[in-house]
Amino acid sequence: MNAFEDGDFQYWNSESVSHEFNEDWKIKVEEELRFGGDAGRFYHHHSDAVITYSGMGDWLELGLNYMLIFEKKENEWVYENRPHLNMTLQYALKGLELTGRNRFEYRDKENGTDGWRYRNRFTVKYPVKAGDFEINPYIADEIFVDFIEEKLNRNRLYAGADFKILKNLKLDIFYLWQASEKDDNWADCNVLGTKVKLSF
């Protein structure tokens, strides 16, 4: 965890490209940059590649990922290899789209103890259409459970919306409040996030 002040403002931006081979299989590559210290210090970069399978039904999507992370800590860049498995449950209820993503990730760190972590993100989305334009406001909550420390040590609360700019280009804008625990002390940060998603 970086030594930013409690209540720090950050900006996170990601760009991704995805391709559907058929109705069941899709591949996606994502790059993300994060800026902390009142959004003035570049401290995090990651690349994430995933292949997903949704052939078991509309209610379930399985994903196998590999993520490579570089993070600046104490003026030095350190890396982490993070393969992870995702299982996302999906359900529609009275105009709402409900998803529950379960992620099991193995953290292979250059500096630090390697081990497993579980993440669960529950999202409620409400699509709104106005003619050909559609916007998808959403709220979400994500918990992080560290198996090494055997405790929940991070929580993220999201509020945002995504919409199509072009037929195959989507923009997601969100606010994220993150609370993280280290050495029995909790610190939070406020994040403005953007995601640009290209599909073909």
Residues 56-84 have pLDDT tens digits of 999 999 999 999 999 999 889 999 999 99
Domain boundaries, position 190:
8-199
The Cα diameter of the chain in Å comes to 52
pLDDT band, residue 196 (cuts 50/70/90): very high
Give the Cα separation of 20 and 172 in Å (integer). Answer: 20
**Does a structural domain hold residue 178?**
yes
Question: What is the DSSP secondary structure assignment for residue 140, as one 8-state letter?
Answer: E
* The total number of structural domains that make up the chain: 1
Angle subtended at Cα 122 by Cα 21 and Cα 129, rounded to the nearest 5 degrees: 65
Is residue 120 domain-resident? yes
- Residues 191 and 175: beta-carbon distance below 8 Å: yes
User: Does residue 1 lie in a domain region?
Assistant: no
End-to-end CA distance of the chain: 36
Phi, psi of 57 (to 5 degrees): 145, 165
Is the pTM higher than 0.85? The answer reads: yes
Could you tell me the CATH number of the domain that includes residue 140?
Answer: 2.40.160
